[in-house]
Structure 1
Amino acid sequence: MTDLIATTPGLYPLPDWAKDDLSDLKGHQKGDLISGDEGPEIADAYQRARSEVVDAQTDAGLDRVVEGQLRWDDMLAHPLTTHENVETGGIVRYYDNNNFYRDPQVQGELTPSGDVAAELDAVDTDALQAVLPGPYSLADLATDEHYGDEAAFLDAIATYLADELDGFPSHETLFLLEPSLVENPPEDDVDELASEAIDRVAAATDADVVVHTYWGAVPEKTYAHLMDADVDAIGFDFVTDADASLYNINEYGTKDQIAMGLVDGQNTLVESPETIRDRVEWVQDQTQPDFDRAYVTSNTELFYLPVNKFEDKLQALGDAAALAEVDA
């Protein structure tokens, strides 16, 4: 019997009231927040919003609770854009999702900042799931003006993320988000380095580590190298490309655990719990052997949704896991 865990990849939309309050606060500009430099009113607004999204997950019955990453205006690039040795450049479009963020330009050594750890310290839950960009995606989204070559930069990013993890509070699960493995897969001589970088980050935590990929399926060669990484689960985007995801699993195998991206993180149509449960069973029927654990999640971040639809999708995920318990 597969243990179903209802969760999300994080990166939530700000509550509407928080958008209004933060835009009105003197000196606040979207994307210009650096931990430690925020005024008390801004910090209080984020804490109230954080508590709200944590409560929403708990009320929905999710098995893992994320901090929400509400301060991550630059999405996956956030851990770099807040760093003192990184210059945030102009607006760029990272992925084909109609959202634009700033270009982090690394100009000095990437020492740990404690920024993400401080966010996690503010969450009161026994079911904490930490979220970080994977090292390959973070390196892909940044510009290196310090380390000199792709291999050295990827190594530095992995070390930086591992050092950040060292300061995290106790957490049950770590989701490493790696959409660049799909959108801009590594060249032949970097495939193995990307896997080694993920290994380095995963080794820095005692929690279960899920490498969640999305915007499609990972190319075969990259996926084969990803399988070499010592992680507990790989995540698949069954919304965007179910066939190619199933092909990778059945051709190259996968871990004993899996993350199933079954809920559309960009579409306002809310899937019913029964639909989600049917999709879980469909994936299980198409793959062998049974998984020890399946993280049932949205395929992408939920940042793109209106707040009410985001909350409805949380509830659907929680209800789908509850249905599984009833069926068992």
Structure 2
Amino acid sequence: MTEFVGTTPGLFPLPDHAKSELADLKGHQKGDLISGDEPESITDVYDDARSTVVAEQRDAGLDRVVEGCLRWDDMLAHPLAVHDNVGTGGIVRYYDNNNFYRDPCVTGELTPSGDVPSEVAAAADLLDDTDPPLQATLPGPYSLADLATDEFYGDDREFLAAVASFLAAEVEAFPAHGTLFLLDPSLVATPPDDDLAAAVPEAIDTVAGATDADVVVYTYFGALDEKTYAHLLDADIDAVGLDLVDADRETTVYNAVEYGITDDVALGVADGQNTLVESPETLRERAAWFTDQVPATDFERVYLSTNTEPFYLPVNKHRAKLDAVGAAADLEREVHA
């Protein structure tokens, strides 16, 4: 029987009270805070905000709990932007939307930093045996390399491998976790060229091999092209993540039918960028639309989530979508009971 899991990709919007407190403490603007440099008054605000978002996920009935990535001012670029051997360049646009991040310029060896592991450990400390499993979030190696500027390694394949090794070292320092989501929208937005495409599954395997948890490579901002999709399936992962909100979802179905799919699948069914809050029934229908069109596939596990990180949403809309995703997973379990 298929297991249905309500979850999120992480990268939550910062709770309103935390925004206000940070503004009072430091005139907080996007990109102001560098990991390890924050005074205790700042870290206390983030600790309190983390407790808030963990409690909200419990209340929403989600089946995985994430830390929230509340300090990730540079979104997916964060793990590099806070690294000692990475300088932050100018402000650049984050894919094709109105969000921005500081360009991380890699100027030295990508040694382990421990920044994200400390956040994941803080979330783990908030959970007990009655809570759902912890889910960790990282950028996928290809997206992190794509969002950065390499001023040290000098070769695309070598740089991608270095980014993957860096991420693997971070994963090795994580506390116990049930699932790892690798967010890899660049596979859709700026797919690798022929010279780099075959190296992508190798890079993913490097990261996935660092954990015993289930690994999901979560893609979004549209459908993968055929070549990239086929290469992604060469990676040793438990689930591929697919955007079912984007208008090109017919291509997503075609890829799954033509090239096959992983035993588990993660489906982006709630719009992570639109303030319209879909009903649980609508989310379930989107998931069923996909699974019904993939013949002879009995998925072992289906994750339901927002299609993108919910960073873009107002906090109240984000919370409402958490509730809807949790309820949609419950509906799936009722229908398939």
Q: TM-score range by the shorter chain?
A: over 0.9
Q: What is the Cα deviation at residue 274 of structure 1?
A: 1.1
Q: What is residue 315 of structure 2 aligned with on the other side?
A: 307
2:266 corresponds, among 236, 242, 259, to 259
Runs of 4+ in 1 over 3 A off after TM superposition: 26-30
Q: Secondary structure of the equivalent of 2:267?
A: strand
TM-score (norm 1): 0.98
Q: What is the Cα deviation at residue 35 of structure 1?
A: 2.8
Cα pair 1:33 1:82 within 8 Å, conserved: no
Give CA-to-partner distance per residue, 1:249-273, whole Å, 9 cap, x none.
0000010000001100001111111
Q: Which moved more, 1:315-324 or 1:249-258?
A: 315-324
2:34 partner amino acid: I
Q: What is residue 65 of structure 2 aligned with on the other side?
A: 65
2:176 corresponds, among 170, 177, 181, to 170
Q: Secondary structure of the equivalent of 2:245?
A: coil
Q: Which moved more, 1:29-38 or 1:183-192?
A: 29-38
Cα pair 1:239 1:299 within 8 Å, conserved: yes
CA distance in 2, matches of 1:26, 1:56: 26
1:276 partner amino acid: L
1:6-21 correspondence runs (5 A): 6-21=6-21
The structure-2 alpha-carbon separation of the partners of 1:308 and 1:26, relative to structure 1 and needing over 3 Å to count, comes to closer
2:215 partner amino acid: V
Q: What is the Cα deviation at residue 130 of structure 1?
A: 0.3
Q: Secondary structure of the equivalent of 1:122?
A: helix
Q: Which moved more, 1:58-67 or 1:274-283?
A: 274-283
1:253-292 correspondence runs (5 A): 253-288=260-295, 289-292=297-300
- State the Cα RMSD in Å: 1.1
TM-score (norm 2): 0.95
Q: What is the Cα deviation at residue 28 of structure 1?
A: 4.8
Q: Percent identity?
A: 66
1:137-286 correspondence runs (5 A): 137-240=143-246, 241-286=248-293
2:195 partner amino acid: D
Q: Secondary structure of the equivalent of 1:189?
A: helix
1:321 corresponds, among 322, 326, 329, to 329
1:221 partner amino acid: K
CA distance in 1, matches of 2:202, 2:26: 44
Give CA-to-partner distance per residue, 1:31-66, whole Å, 9 cap, x none.
232332211110000011111111101100000011
Q: Which moved more, 1:268-277 or 1:22-31?
A: 22-31
1:63 partner amino acid: D
Q: What is the Cα deviation at residue 103 of structure 1?
A: 0.2
Q: What is the Cα deviation at residue 243 of structure 1?
A: 0.4
CA distance in 1, matches of 2:44, 2:93: 30
Q: What is residue 89 of structure 1 aligned with on the other side?
A: 89
Q: What is the Cα deviation at residue 85 of structure 1?
A: 0.6
Cα pair 2:244 2:286 within 8 Å, conserved: no
Give CA-to-partner distance per residue, 1:137-187, whole Å, 9 cap, x none.
000000000011101100100000001111000000000000000010000
Give CA-to-partner distance per residue, 1:60-100, whole Å, 9 cap, x none.
00000110001000000000000011000110013011111
Q: What is residue 40 of structure 1 aligned with on the other side?
A: 40
Aligned residues: 328
Q: Which moved more, 1:277-286 or 1:230-239?
A: 277-286
Q: What is the Cα deviation at residue 276 of structure 1?
A: 1.2
CA distance in 2, matches of 1:162, 1:32: 27
1:171 partner amino acid: H
Cα pair 2:142 2:200 within 8 Å, conserved: yes
Q: Secondary structure of the equivalent of 2:333?
A: helix
CA distance in 2, matches of 1:122, 1:157: 24
Cα pair 1:181 1:222 within 8 Å, conserved: yes
Where does the alignment leave 5 or more consecutive residues of structure 2 unmatched?
A: none
CA distance in 1, matches of 2:117, 2:44: 17
Give CA-to-partner distance per residue, 1:169-225, whole Å, 9 cap, x none.
000000000000001000001111011101110000000000000001111011111
Q: What is the Cα deviation at residue 290 of structure 1?
A: 1.7
